[in-house]
Amino acid sequence: MFRYRLLSRYLMLSAIMIIFIAFAQVSMAQQEITVGNDFGVGARAMGMGGAYTSVADDFTALYWNPAGLSHLKRMEFYGTLSHEKVDKETEYFGDINSTFTSNTRPNSFGIVIPVPTYQGGLAFAFGVNRVQSFDIRSKVKGFNNLTLDDDPELGQLSIDEVTDESGGIYSWDFGAAVDIAPNIALGATLSVLSGRYDYSLNLDSEDTKNIDSNITGISYQDTISTDYLGVEGKVGLLARIAKPLKLGLTITIPMTFSASEYWTQDTYYAYDDGTTDDTQYDEGTFDYDISRPFRFNLGLSLLPIPNALISADVSYTDWTQTEYSESPSEDVSNEDFINDYVATAGFRVGAEYYIPKAGLMLRAGYIRDPLPYKPEGTEIKTDRQFITAGVGLIMDESFSIDIAYIKGFSKVLSNNGDISKKLDTNRIMLSADFKF
pLDDT at 243: 85
Q: Is the pLDDT of residue 30 over 50?
A: yes
Q: Put residue 128 in one of left, alpha, beta given phi > 0 → left and psi -120 to 50 → alpha.
A: beta
What beta strand segments (E) does 272-328 contain? Answer: 276-291, 295-302, 308-318, 323-324
**Using CA atoms, how far apart are residues 320 and 330, in angstroms rounded to an integer?**
20
| Alpha-carbon dihedral angle through residues 380, 383, 384, 387, given to the nearest 10 degrees | -150
Report, as an integer, the average pLDDT of 136-149: 88
Task: Give me the residue spans of the domains in the chain.
Answer: 2-435
Look at residues 96, 7, 16 and name the one whose alpha carbon lies nearest to residue 281. Answer: 16
Please state the pTM of the whole predicted model. 0.89
Question: Average pLDDT, whole number, for the chain?
Answer: 90
Report, as an integer, the average pLDDT of 411-422: 88
The fourth-level CATH superfamily of domain 2-435 is Outer membrane protein transport protein (OMPP1/FadL/TodX) (2.40.160.60)
Higher local confidence (pLDDT), 332 or 392 = 392
Q: Put residue 208 in one of left, alpha, beta given phi > 0 → left and psi -120 to 50 → alpha.
A: alpha
**Using CA atoms, how far apart are residues 248 and 185, in angstroms rounded to an integer?**
10
Percent of the chain topping pLDDT 70: 93
**Rounded to whole angstroms, what are the CA distances from 433 to 181, 252, 308?**
28, 26, 21
Confidence class of residue 26 from pLDDT cuts 50, 70 and 90?
Answer: very low
pLDDT at 276: 85
pLDDT at 22: 35
